[in-house]
Amino acid sequence: MASLEDLYQEIILDHNKHPRNFGPLPGATHRADGNNPLCGDELKVSLCLSEGLVEKIQFQGQGCAISKASASLMTEAIAGKTLEDACYLARSVIEGITACEEGLKFEEAGDLAALSGVRKFPARVKCATLAWHALLCALDGGDRVSTEQIGPAA
């Protein structure tokens, strides 16, 4: 029987190899670029918001397996959420990955739980949180965020 860590690794590998919601989003109402110069990750998150709901969300760019998988998982988790719920989830995931006490309870997070293992690898924390920071930047009206602005890894 596969361990939970093996399952999480399979989820990460699947989302990296077959990213969901990957590509441009014509007509996006919100966009932000995310850059992690330490790893070379460069992502663009694009959303269509209508009446306070995330109707569509896509990402594009290049990055390491963790960065791409996290962005793919994010798009699946955020689509259909209210603006308030999307912001709350993004902050919770970031806090959960950086091991803050009030972060996402990964045992209740479905496939997002696959990101919990990143805490064991501090050098990868910024890779895993980049797309989520770009999402928050876009929702806040910004257009660009860099991990150099985010602060040190956990």
**Which residue range is the domain that position 74 belongs to?**
4-145
Please, which pLDDT band fits residue 151 given cuts at 50, 70 and 90? low
Q: How far is CA 130 from CA 6, 7, 33, 89, 105, in A?
A: 23, 23, 10, 14, 19
Would residue 154 count as lying in a domain?
no
Please, which pLDDT band fits residue 117 given cuts at 50, 70 and 90? confident
**pLDDT the model gives residue 150:** 73
Question: Residue 90: is its pLDDT beyond 60?
Answer: yes
Name the pairing type of β-strands 30-36 and 144-146. Answer: parallel
Please, which pLDDT band fits residue 113 given cuts at 50, 70 and 90? confident
In this structure, which amino acid lies at residue 48?
A: C
Q: How far is CA 72 from CA 2, 20, 96, in A?
A: 23, 5, 17
- Range scoring the smallest mean pLDDT among 9-18, 52-61, 111-120, 125-134: 111-120
CATH number of the structural domain spanning residue 108: 3.90.1010.10
Q: Match 């009446």 to its residue by tokens.
A: 51
How many domains does one find in the chain?
A: 1
Question: Residue 126: is its pLDDT beyond 60?
Answer: yes
- Range scoring the smallest mean pLDDT among 5-9, 26-30, 85-89, 114-118: 5-9
**H-type alpha helices, 60-117:** 65-78, 83-97
**pLDDT the model gives residue 1:** 44
Would residue 42 count as lying in a domain?
yes
Would residue 78 count as lying in a domain?
yes
Would residue 150 count as lying in a domain?
no
Question: Residue 35: is its pLDDT beyond 50?
Answer: yes
Across residues 134-153, what is the average pLDDT?
85
